[in-house]
Chains A and B, each alone.
Chain A
């Protein structure tokens, strides 16, 4: 099922870039296509104050606001200078929130409570691509076996992104995969004072300007 992405107010080279990203991304698998008008599932836009014509927004249409890096933002954003992987992640997130039963993650969903994944080694840089979310997912998988649901809960990321990342790791033989019975997932003893540490991390994140989904 095709998903439609509108581009409003973008100059032609930017629209061409979006076309290329959607066409070339193996993770999107050509599910998303750029449309010039009409209904769309997501709309890339600089300014939300103006009319969205010629696009027609559905109740489920997601706005992806274009901002410069460092500018404050909320919701879905695509930051300039553009990075393809960030747009791909956003579209996968939208896939996940709109259509959790998408074919590409259906198997993973049904097995999420029984399959445990653990990282064999820190992933190579061509997978991580200096992308913080991938690094964080890798950290969670490096600290004992985790289910897909564990990963979603820990990271706050969508199911599509998590299952997609697991697939990439599995394809590269970087995962130890165990199924069936419940596992002891912690490689490290659970530390005392968990609540205290949670509060501390929350304060430290705020201090460092970090947010956690």
Chain B
């Protein structure tokens, strides 16, 4: 039996916990506490990590990890991403500067991005259409990336699955 690791990262409120819950086969393990940040419209927030799991037919497992959103926990990002087969960056487009949020994660995971497949899902684009998904791809290109960036609703399992499919395609393209 082998274990594989998939990491979800992104700002607080971007939907990491929701994305894991959308596809996990086991009740997601959460390390949430009451949110004390009044700028965030949520009752609880993750300070440790989220964990979910997919059990494959051959006995292998995919461990789904969600990093804590707050950048003060960025030391955990690298720990969680070590040996992951993919990294999913979730962006909350309702935040004040989503492009800057993306820049923080590109910088935080710069080393991993040279070897680990990565996709970017932008949430809440219907209520907050700016910046557009195209603005994100232009911003990525300016930093030398042509990573997939797509609008997502992580409450929908199909959207989360599409992100994973794009990750797998990246790995296959490298073979």
Q: Which residues of A contact B (CB under 8 A)?
A: 119-125, 128, 130, 132, 135-136, 138-140, 142-144, 146, 154, 186-191, 194, 196-197, 199-201, 203-210
Contacts and interface: CB of A to CB of B under 8 A. Distances in A.
A124 B115 contact: no
Interface in B150-173: 150-151, 161-162, 164-166, 168-173
Given A203-B60, A204-B62, A204-B168, 14 more contacts: A119-B146, A121-B140, A121-B146, A122-B137, A122-B146, A130-B150, A135-B148, A143-B170, A186-B174, A188-B114, A190-B175, A196-B2, A200-B56, A208-B23
A208 B24 CA distance: 11
B115 to A, nearest CB: 6
Given A120-B146, A135-B148, A136-B169, A207 B54 contact: yes
B147 interface: yes
A121 B146 CA distance: 4
B173 A144 contact: yes
Nearest to B4: A200
B109 interface: no
Contact of B138 (A121, A146, A205): A121
Nearest to A189: B115
A154 B173 contact: yes
A123 B148 CA distance: 9
Nearest to A140: B173
A203 B57 contact: yes
Contacts of A135: 148, 150, 162, 166
B164 A139 contact: no
Interface string B96-107: 000000000000
B83 to A, nearest CB: 11
B140 A203 contact: no
B162 A132 contact: yes
B174 A144 contact: yes
Contacts of A139: 148, 166, 169-170, 173
A186 B171 CA distance: 11
Contact of A191 (B60, B133, B138, B171): B171
B141 A142 contact: no
B157 to A, nearest CB: 9
Contacts of B23: 208
Given A139-B148, A139-B173, A197 B85 contact: yes
A124 B134 contact: yes
A203 B58 contact: yes
B149 interface: yes
B132 interface: yes
Nearest to A143: B173
Contacts of A132: 162, 165
11 contacts: A121-B141, A122-B137, A122-B149, A132-B165, A136-B166, A140-B169, A143-B170, A146-B173, A190-B175, A196-B2, A205-B165
Contacts of B166: 135-136, 139
Contacts of B115: 188-189
Contacts of B137: 121-124
Contacts of A203: 56-58, 60
A189 B4 CA distance: 19
A142 B174 contact: no
Which among A120, A130, A143, A154 has the greatest number of chain B C-beta atoms within 10 A? Answer: A143
